[in-house]
Chain A
Amino acid sequence: MGHRTEGVNTERQSMIAQKMLTTNKRQKTENITGRTIAMICAGLLVIVVLSITYFIASKGLSTFFVDGVSFKEFLTHDKWDPEGEPSAYGVLPFILGSFFVTALAALIAAPLGIGAAIFMTEIFPGFGKKVLKPVIELLVGIPSVVYGYVGLTLLVPFIREQFDVLGFSLLAGGLVLALMILPTITSVAADAIEAVPQDLRNASLALGATRWQTIWNVVLHSALPGCLTAIVLGMSRAFGEALAVQMVIGNTTKLPGGLLDPISTLTSGITLNMGNTIQGTPYNNALWSMALLLLAMSFIFIVILRLLGRKRLAK
């Protein structure tokens, strides 16, 4: 790797030197304006991220500092009744709902997605890259409300008839989310598998390993951090998804009892109530606290992604 960068560097240097000979004023101003525009864009991005974080945090934290709800009660109690007398602000059912539905979606989509990635890179690369990959990536473009509506129209009645239950359930939410994060997992995993050097495969085959042994022990092993990245990326999408889940999960505020029970998630709790609550009231602040929790979770997902990325670099 070092050798190659050096080559590129010298090539670039000679190119730059050649250009330097013909430097004129216009190039200089262009250089400066280009740099300024880039700096402004980067600066704006930083400001936007910081101010969003500050805004959500200032609103979300006032539940604890202004309205006096204890942090422990918020996270660990299971009674949610902000308009009741006395009001209760336990979001545990929402948190558990979000985690369960995300975990279920990842459990279903990860093997499917990585399997599809292996198929389209190792087993049938021509068809995989030309047809399968674009088709799977097409799924990303479908709006989530459509997934939700399809889930509501097909999946919920199907589950109801199969198991003689309501149909609105953790299972329905997990299945819809699994479908939604499948393209993310597949394409990121496919890229990771594709990036495994061909030499490794050749060496493994030369040692007498079968194709499957090569895929399982060599290719997947070296692409593991990339595959984990794919799963975490999918999970972070699943965790933040609101509309589709809201339509099929039932939004019942109680602790999840089983796969076929209706539950609610942090995102569905927020979307259902945000428009009908008054800004500045404890109810509204509690919703912001839930949003803050989601933000914190997405930070955690990003940290995990970073750690995975570092692991790969270290290799």
Chain B
Amino acid sequence: MKKLSKMFIALTCVGALLAGCGSGNTAQTQTPAPAQKPAQEQSNSGSTTKTSGEPVTAVGSTALQPLVEQAAKDFMAKNAGAQIQVQGGGSGTGLSQVASGAATIGNSDIFAEEKKGIPANELVDHKVAVVGMAAAVSPQVKVDNLSKQQLIDIFTGKITNWKEVGGEDMKITLVNRPKSSGTRATFSKFALDGKEEAEGITEDSSGTVRKIIAETPGAIGYLALSYFNDTVKALKLDGVEANAENITSNKYPVWAYEHMYTKGEATGDAKAFLDFILTDDVQKKTVTELGFLPITDMKVERDAEGKVTQK
């Protein structure tokens, strides 16, 4: 009896430890699984002359992931035998995986030049879409427009109450993305002129950030335009609304390219896939449907240093 109970304790311990380990890992293991299955199914259906059938892996930015996933699905439906596997993991993962050769395509929200430790000269940039970002506030905040200076003062912690910018008497709560996030880098660079943000609530996923902003009175954060819905309100910046027209002409400056990097020039299926994403079919339909702006609509061009030129 004693032995048995001891063994049971040991088993419970092991079980508890396993449960503890398992729960922590779910986030990482979840993403690759669904992407792999359709690719394998495709490989069984035989290959045509058009595609080589070599598996193409696209890893990285979670913001870009839905777009690439949809495009991959359409691409594989059109080209039997093509295998495109799409995984998340973050822009940093995408860039380092493609640089090390572990992935064919590295998805990223930011230029490779902006990340330290990436051999940017070895990578070829394919810009596939543009995404705008805007300051998001909870609907209770009765402010619609902020000047850039006001926005900077809010995010650096100088202004701490909405009444200082013409709103109600309500405390301001900052909702940030982690320091390494690509969205944070873009917002900080183009909306805050690179000023360092004060500490606030930090959450990783845009969905959670939106939920927190919607439910916390007086909260302010920033989101990609594809994440806005009825629960959060987008603020105008210096009176300019964050819409397609203003972004394509750079009147509204807070936007970023969605990049798909390859190591060296793209070849084979990877090239065919990248060309496919740039076709009007994808750009006019999938890209806009998912809340991005077609790269083909842009009237300006911006380089890694942030210099803007007319196209």
Contacts and interface: CB of A to CB of B under 8 A. Distances in A.
A246 B16 contact: no
B17 to A, nearest CB: 8
A152 interface: yes
A246 B203 CA distance: 8
Contacts of B251: none
B99 to A, nearest CB: 8
Interface residues of B, number: 49
A241 B17 CA distance: 11
B202 A251 contact: yes
Contacts of B200: 252
B203 A247 contact: yes
Interface stretch (A21-29, A69-77, A190-198): A190-198
Interface string B10-24: 001101110111011
Interface stretch (A53-61, A138-146, A199-207): A138-146
Contacts, number: 135
Given A188-B12, A279-B96, A157 B215 contact: yes
Given A195-B2, A275-B92, A283 B202 contact: no
A242 B92 contact: no
A243 interface: yes
B38 interface: no
Contacts of A233: 13, 16-17
Interface stretch (A11-19, A33-41, A97-105, A160-168): A160-168
Nearest to B211: A152
A303 B17 CA distance: 15
B92 A277 contact: yes
A188 B180 contact: no
Interface stretch (A106-114, A123-131, A208-216, A265-273): A265-273
Contacts of B203: 246-247, 251, 272
Interface stretch (B110-118, B143-151, B288-296): B110-118
B258 to A, nearest CB: 15
A112 B235 CA distance: 47
Given A140-B19, A233-B16, A273 B199 contact: no
Interface of A: 1, 81-84, 140, 143-145, 152, 157, 160, 166-168, 184, 187-188, 191-192, 194-195, 226, 229, 233, 236-237, 240-243, 246-247, 250-254, 262, 264, 267, 271-281, 283-284, 305
Given A140-B19, A233-B16, A272-B178, 16 more contacts: A81-B179, A140-B16, A143-B23, A145-B27, A191-B5, A233-B17, A242-B24, A243-B26, A246-B204, A247-B203, A250-B201, A252-B202, A276-B91, A278-B116, A279-B117, A283-B116
